Structure 1
Amino acid sequence: MEHDTSKSNNKHSIDNLKTSGLERRLSIAKTSLNVGRRWAGNSVSGIFLDKKARTARNQAFMEAQAQYVADELGKLKGSVVKIGQMLALYGEHVLPPEITRALQTLNDDTATLTWPRIEQTLQRILGDKLHELEIDRTPIGTASLAQVHRATVLATGEQIVLKIQYPGVAEAINSDLALFKRLLKVSNVVPQTRSLDAWFEEIRDLLHIEVDYDIEAATTERFYARLQDDPRYAVPKINRNYSSKRLLCMTYEPGVSVTSDALKSLSPERRNAIGQAAIEIMMQEIFVWGEMQTDPNFGNYLVRISDSDHETDKLVLLDFGAIRQFDNALLTIARALLRAGYRHDHTAMMAAMTGYDFFDSMSDKVKSNVASLFLLATEPFSDTAINPDIPKDCLDEQQRYIWAKSKLHSRISATARRAMQSFEFNLPPKEFMFISRKFIGAYTFLTVVDAHTNSNNLVKPFL
């Protein structure tokens, strides 16, 4: 969740969220009805077109239909928006591209809940402790499940932020999921498969964890302890006195957004250091700690720019709600895949792809194609001395990888499409999709920062 200190707040406010089951059901029902009418109208009006014209028309209709659904969902806030965002992130192998694109437009940064409603929520949770705080009535960050307000602890002057969960969103998760599934069914744009059901179960579990701020507080404290002695990172410190299951209180951590001009104007070496820190934390998450922040949203990071070239710029890690733990079997496979990627060894990559039904059920041909995909995905982590496939313009004079020139995401996407055209390709395990999404998020981060990174520094500690 973003709280960029360089931004002003000019969003419109709403007095109430549609968090009651009835209100949400009515809203979704109205959307479903309109969607059904549109489908009927499209079918009738296209009856006299030839096949080519009908295909083009249906494509355009599907795009408009998907965007209408996304727009209507965006008005509800709460877990409906979060479900849409999660499906957009992790459902690209399950959903048609039109739906994925439309869901990607669902935005956290919408209307804010008015101060009287927020104050009412705080009063209910904090009671008399509310008088110990001076709270800024204008939020510094909004999301689909909560909004963030700056505050001061009056007795000590400590600067804090309060992440306040919108009332009723936790209780609405199960019904929201049911409504969302029904809407997808009525809109006729998604095949109702077991894969889709499995994804909805996964999203349900993740959401119930994400709305439990006791869990997020404990996770934030673990990451704080791990990183407190590393000058490259800042993690908020949890204030337990004002925290509860639906309210999270932590130290205020200033910084600028990843896309800010101030960050772009830093020297290349400083941007390289920030990029290296961003990808190193991901390596630690996957290969050392076995738990990972799975939401690659830029709003979960800020950068605290130091006053001089001699001090370290800090990567501020803000949000630990979407954390996933991984078992040792998966981590062992992931380490072997990384090792093979570092050595750019196709045979070793194929050998590493064992121990998961997803890999073990592949024919040698498909396994070879997927191994080639993994070799491409690990290109930035490979030993530049032995990988002849890295495009020459992707390395600087010190043999560091130039992310902004790599076009890696589009190259991976093209290769992945070819690999998945095989009729025997199964849906990847959810864990691998989480990890791949995390990597894509990191790739985008490093491209935006325009960082050059050294593969030896990144990978050797984990070999």
Structure 2
Amino acid sequence: MSNDTSKPFSNKQSIDNLKTSGFERRMSIAKTSLNIGRRWAGNSVSGMFLNKEARTARNQAFMETQANYLAAELGKLKGSVVKIGQMLAIYGEHILPPEITRALQTLNDDTATLSWPTIELTLRDLLGERLNELDIDPVPIGTASLAQVHRATVIATGEQVVLKIQYPGVADAINSDLALFKRLLKVSNIVPQTRSLDAWFEEIRDLLHHEVDYEAEAVTTERFYDRLSNDPRYVVPKINREYSKKRLLCMSYEPGVSVVSDVLQQLSHERRSAIGQAAIEIMMQEIFVWGEMQTDPNFGNYLVRVSTNEGEPDKLVLLDFGAIRQFDENLLTIAHGLLKAGYHHDHDAMVLAMTGYDFFDSMSNKVRSDVASLFLLATEPFSNPATNPDIPSDRLDEKGRYIWANSKLHSRLSTAATRAMQSFEFNLPPKEFMFISRKFIGAYTLLTVLNSYTDSNKLVRPYL
């Protein structure tokens, strides 16, 4: 959740309460379900006399309209319903129709803020008289589906902090929201009800319950703070335990600009490349050193503090440690083997690295070979230019660094993956692989936006 102070929230619509009671949310979603059901029935009747081609085109257009209506109605509810929709948009492309995925991608956190009197009442419940020790700006500097952020000063010390305040009732509504969301998809008849969908809802349930536990997030943030405290390229907020609770997180205020800010585009190319290198290096450490990863690829989880002192690097501010996922040793061993094979651009080594994981072992030899080719493309930015003749010359600078803006890697991967899935029997990938792949796609997009050049030898050699 970004606290980019260049985006004021004072002119945003403010609401006094959220529909967090089960009855209110059931009524709202029931109304949406009813409207979608009526429309679906109407579309079926009116399309009865069309030929097959015309009916297919009409149904596709109707699905698009229905999906957009669904997203618009969900967006009004805030809370975990919006978060569920966002998670399905990020991870559900293999189980949802593309129209639904596209519509859910429009769900964002840039919605109405909860009014200050309501937030103040929530803080009073959490902190009691200790609330008087803080001077809090009533205008939030950030909003999200589950919380909003306010700047504050600790009066006694002058310390500048931010308070991440969870919206009242959202944690208690997670299970009922999931049930309502699933029922909405079932009633609306726009998503096939499969075991894969059930498994993803269970995964989302676990992730959400973890994300609303700010005591766990405080511990994780402190862990990353300790890990990165000696690296001048990174800033992790410092947790203030005096004012942190299970539903309230207090941490140091860390200013910066958004990663898509024009300010960054005005920096020299070398500085932007250094920021990009830092962004992808942190991801490598998460997977190959610490075995746990921040799985949310949202740009709002990063800021950049632009240096004003020569010789001091620009800093990547890491903001949100709620969506952390740990990986088991077996998966990390597989990932390490895939990275090594990708660095050497070795197809046989890539196939061998995939051995020992049920998802890959269940594939035929032909399928495994095709997936290995897909992984070789995915690891192009991590390959040694000296041993990868398949990297087009316009993707490398004179120093052999990878030019992200020229790569079009995301679209090339999407095309190759779609083609591969159509050509062979394909099971839904393990959730862990989908988390990692989504994080990589987020990093790829960030480096493309920054137009960074990265050095694969610096990135990969420490892990060989």
TM-score by length of 2: 0.99
Indicate the residue corresponding to 1:31 in structure 2. Answer: 32
Q: CA deviation at 1:113?
A: 0.1
Indicate the residue corresponding to 1:171 in structure 2. Answer: 172
Indicate the residue corresponding to 1:140 in structure 2. Answer: 141
- Matched letter for residue 5 of structure 2: T
Q: CA deviation at 1:310?
A: 2.2
Q: Does 1:400 align with 2:404?
A: no
In structure 2, what is the Cα distance between the partners aligned to 1:237 and 1:148?
Answer: 15
- Matched letter for residue 262 of structure 2: D
Structure 1 stretches of 4+ with a deviation exceeding 2 A read: none
Indicate the residue corresponding to 1:260 in structure 2. Answer: 261
TM alignment of 1:57-456, pairs within 5 A: 57-456=58-457
- Matched letter for residue 4 of structure 1: D
Indicate the residue corresponding to 1:2 in structure 2. Answer: 2
- Matched letter for residue 8 of structure 2: S
SS at match of 2:389: coil
CA contact (8 A) 2:81 2:178 kept: yes
In structure 1, what is the Cα distance between the partners aligned to 2:107 and 2:356?
Answer: 37
- Matched letter for residue 6 of structure 1: S
In structure 2, what is the Cα distance between the partners aligned to 1:14 and 1:384?
Answer: 55
CA contact (8 A) 2:381 2:456 kept: yes
In structure 1, what is the Cα distance between the partners aligned to 2:387 and 2:321?
Answer: 37
SS at match of 2:258: coil
In structure 1, what is the Cα distance between the partners aligned to 2:228 and 2:244?
Answer: 22
SS at match of 1:362: coil
In structure 2, what is the Cα distance between the partners aligned to 1:229 and 1:310?
Answer: 16
TM-superposition CA deviations, 1:334-366 (whole Å, max 9, x none): 000000000000000000001221100000100
- Matched letter for residue 334 of structure 1: A
Q: Note closer, same or farther for the CA distance 1:423–1:343 as it changes in structure 2 (3 Å cut).
A: closer
In structure 2, what is the Cα distance between the partners aligned to 1:325 and 1:353?
Answer: 20
- Matched letter for residue 205 of structure 2: R
CA contact (8 A) 2:19 2:25 kept: yes
TM-superposition CA deviations, 1:370-416 (whole Å, max 9, x none): 00000000000000011011121111111100001100000000010
In structure 1, what is the Cα distance between the partners aligned to 2:131 and 2:93?
Answer: 44
In structure 1, what is the Cα distance between the partners aligned to 2:60 and 2:24?
Answer: 32
SS at match of 2:193: coil
SS at match of 1:421: helix
In structure 2, what is the Cα distance between the partners aligned to 1:308 and 1:238?
Answer: 27
Q: CA deviation at 1:309?
A: 3.9
Indicate the residue corresponding to 1:49 in structure 2. Answer: 50
In structure 2, what is the Cα distance between the partners aligned to 1:423 and 1:286?
Answer: 29
CA contact (8 A) 2:287 2:293 kept: yes
TM-superposition CA deviations, 1:2-49 (whole Å, max 9, x none): 110211223111111000000000000000000000001101111111
- Matched letter for residue 127 of structure 2: L
SS at match of 2:425: coil
Q: Does 1:462 align with 2:463?
A: yes
In structure 1, what is the Cα distance between the partners aligned to 2:229 and 2:307?
Answer: 17
CA contact (8 A) 2:405 2:452 kept: yes
In structure 1, what is the Cα distance between the partners aligned to 2:266 and 2:422?
Answer: 43
The number of residue pairs the alignment matches comes to 463
- Matched letter for residue 250 of structure 2: C
Bigger shift: 132-141 or 2-11?
2-11
Q: Note closer, same or farther for the CA distance 1:309–1:451 as it changes in structure 2 (3 Å cut).
A: farther
In structure 2, what is the Cα distance between the partners aligned to 1:173 and 1:322?
Answer: 15
In structure 1, what is the Cα distance between the partners aligned to 2:365 and 2:397?
Answer: 36
In structure 2, what is the Cα distance between the partners aligned to 1:115 and 1:144?
Answer: 17
SS at match of 1:330: helix
In structure 1, what is the Cα distance between the partners aligned to 2:273 and 2:167?
Answer: 38
Specify every segment of 5 or more residues in structure 2 that has no aligned partner in the other structure, as ranges: none
CA contact (8 A) 2:402 2:455 kept: yes
In structure 1, what is the Cα distance between the partners aligned to 2:165 and 2:203?
Answer: 24
- Matched letter for residue 274 of structure 2: A
RMSD value, Cα: 0.7
In structure 1, what is the Cα distance between the partners aligned to 2:343 and 2:312?
Answer: 31
In structure 1, what is the Cα distance between the partners aligned to 2:422 and 2:42?
Answer: 33
SS at match of 2:286: helix
In structure 2, what is the Cα distance between the partners aligned to 1:101 and 1:144?
Answer: 19
Q: CA deviation at 1:420?
A: 1.0
SS at match of 2:90: helix
Bigger shift: 353-362 or 204-213?
353-362
Q: CA deviation at 1:423?
A: 4.5
Q: CA deviation at 1:454?
A: 0.2
- Matched letter for residue 288 of structure 1: V
In structure 2, what is the Cα distance between the partners aligned to 1:60 and 1:308?
Answer: 55
In structure 1, what is the Cα distance between the partners aligned to 2:196 and 2:426?
Answer: 13
- Matched letter for residue 279 of structure 2: A
- Matched letter for residue 38 of structure 1: R
- Matched letter for residue 2 of structure 1: S
In structure 2, what is the Cα distance between the partners aligned to 1:72 and 1:354?
Answer: 45
In structure 2, what is the Cα distance between the partners aligned to 1:101 and 1:309?
Answer: 44
TM-superposition CA deviations, 1:122-160 (whole Å, max 9, x none): 000000100000000000000000000000000000000
TM-superposition CA deviations, 1:296-319 (whole Å, max 9, x none): 000000000011342210000000
